[in-house]
Amino acid sequence: MTATSLDRPFTVVSLLPRLLNTNGDAGNARVLAQRVRWSGHDARVVDVHSRADLPEHVDAVSIGSGTDAALLPARDNLRTLVEELRLWSNSGVPILAVGTGWELLSWGSDLPDGSVLEGLGLVAGHAVPRAARATDDIIVASKYGRLIGFENHARDYVGAEASPLGRVLYGTGNADAPASGPQIEGLTMGEVFCTHLHGPVLARNPALADHLLQAAFSRHDLEYARGATAESVDDTARTARNQVAVRLGQNAE
């Protein structure tokens, strides 16, 4: 028989929000928790700055983006959690990693001075410097609907051996348009989602947030359904996305 609720709060872990919140991406954890509450379940966000902060139960994980100055301390902190991150990803716990948070999960990042910052090696591929920083709106066609956000990254992402999050309709994504093949954005591996989209991405694109929650709920034989308040908020988000899309020459949803 399918359960109706957890016997504890749904727990969203926000990893290193002091170091990895340059573009407000730590807010993605708050979006997930609030949508859980709107669905009729208790929820909490746990900010994890070190192993000592880890809660007993983890239902979803959010990793934000940071400055290059934060890369080394963030990487060293995440290394102490690599076994947990590997366990979560292998057991279907949804993980959202944005910007440099994504790079830290990868094989590593080539830095402008020629050095290489080794990543955790949890997702394929690595980051390489761009000739010019990508800073603009971005529109992506994905299986979770059209995603709209803002990208702000000085590195391309190459060598991914996983499925992209989507196809770029406007903007840069993982790299400039190739001579052949689609221009792609992001990376997915099971329930691990990596992206350059800021916004925070889940506030602007609630369908993606709902997919993460459906994955998290299904691990407990629960069904996730967005609440009435979410429907109203999602209409506002749709209007905001459409305003960006029309301005950039795309059709409204």
The dihedral through the CA atoms of 25, 181, 94, 36 has a sign that is positive
Asked if residue 44 lies in contact with residue 54, where contact means CB atoms within 8 angstroms, the answer is no
pLDDT at 4: 65
- How distant, in Å, are the alpha carbons of 18, 65, 117 from that of 163? 30, 21, 24
Burial class, 242, CB count within 10 angstroms (exposed 0-12 / middle 13-18 / buried 19+): middle
* DSSP SS3 for 213: helix
Question: Which residue among 41, 126, 153, 198 is the active-site one?
Answer: 198
Is 0.85 surpassed by the pTM of this model?
yes
Asked if residue 196 lies in contact with residue 153, where contact means CB atoms within 8 angstroms, the answer is yes
In the chain the first and final C-alpha atoms are separated, in Å, by 38
Q: What is the mean pLDDT of each run of 10 residues along the chain (253 residues)?
A: 74 98 95 97 97 97 96 97 97 98 98 95 97 97 97 94 91 93 94 97 98 97 94 95 96 93
pLDDT at 84: 97
Domains of the chain with CATH codes: 10-247 (3.40.50.880)
- d(CA 144, CA 124) in angstroms, rounded, equals 22
Residues in the chain: 253
- d(CA 235, CA 78) in angstroms, rounded, equals 36
pLDDT at 6: 86
Question: Is 79 within any annotated ligand binding site?
Answer: no
pLDDT at 162: 75
Nearest to residue 156, comparing CAs of 185, 136, 182, 179? 185
Does 49 qualify as catalytic in the annotation? no
For residue 19 the two structure tokens come to 């170091």
For residue 8 the two structure tokens come to 């504890």
* DSSP SS3 for 100: helix
* DSSP SS3 for 126: strand
